[in-house]
Amino acid sequence: MTSLPPIAVFDLDGTLAETAGDLVGTLNAILAREGLGQLPLDEARDMIGAGAKALIQRGFSAAGRDLTPDRLEALFADFIAHYGRNLCVESHLYPGVVQALDALAARGYRLAVCTNKYERHAVELLTLLGVADRFATICGRETFPYFKPDPRHITLTVARAGGDPGRALMVGDSRADIDAAKAAGIPVVGVTFGYTDTPVDALGADRVISHFDDLVEAVTALVPLDEAA
């Protein structure tokens, strides 16, 4: 009987790729259309991390305007449409991503993406960034009936990728990633360079890294190579 391979599951925004420029660019396009002022990237970057609806609410709140639920839904649809046309204007992979992915694959780890971004956007963005083919599956917000922080988003991603659920690991930047992994009973590596309103060191990750140069050591320490053989 052939055993399933160990698997490393990655979040996308703020983990594999710096996407703030395009997300905030879309927010500013919506704000401008509504006659509101633009938000500097450095200020608005801290608003990312809880999803597009939260980003819209935070952006409008910063501009001094409240939104009704119906208005938020309408603006959310506009946001998704605009963002879908501007996925990779400024977005880019973090330094060391490609090398870390290739090193893990060479050691026998399967790779997958589990993101709260819509699947179609995630697939297109990773394709434009040149790394989509490195992942056994790319699962988004609507791929399953559940999404992070529900642990089933990760466990179903592992199953869809054909990875070993007993030798799985999550890599992410936010509370949703870390809480979902912990609830799924799998180890998690937190990255410090992503989008979170709480320092990732305080979220309970098993390991925390500040550069992808440190990822392979962190992954092999949590899912050792002798177990992955």
The CA distance from 150 to 180, in Å, is: 5
Quick check: 11 and 122 in contact, CB under 8 A?
A: no
Q: Which of 134, 153, 140, 156 has its CA nearest to residue 84?
A: 140
What does DSSP assign to residue 134?
Answer: G
Would you list the DSSP string of 20-79? HHHHHHHHHHHHHHTT-----HHHHGGG-SS-HHHHHHHHHHHTT----HHHHHHHHHHH
The CA distance from 47 to 190, in Å, is: 19
Token pair in block for residue 12: 């996308």
Q: Which residues are catalytic?
A: 11
Q: Which residue has the tokens 């710096």?
A: 18
Those residues with Cβ within 8 angstroms of residue 204's Cβ, 6 or more apart along the chain or in another chain: 178, 182
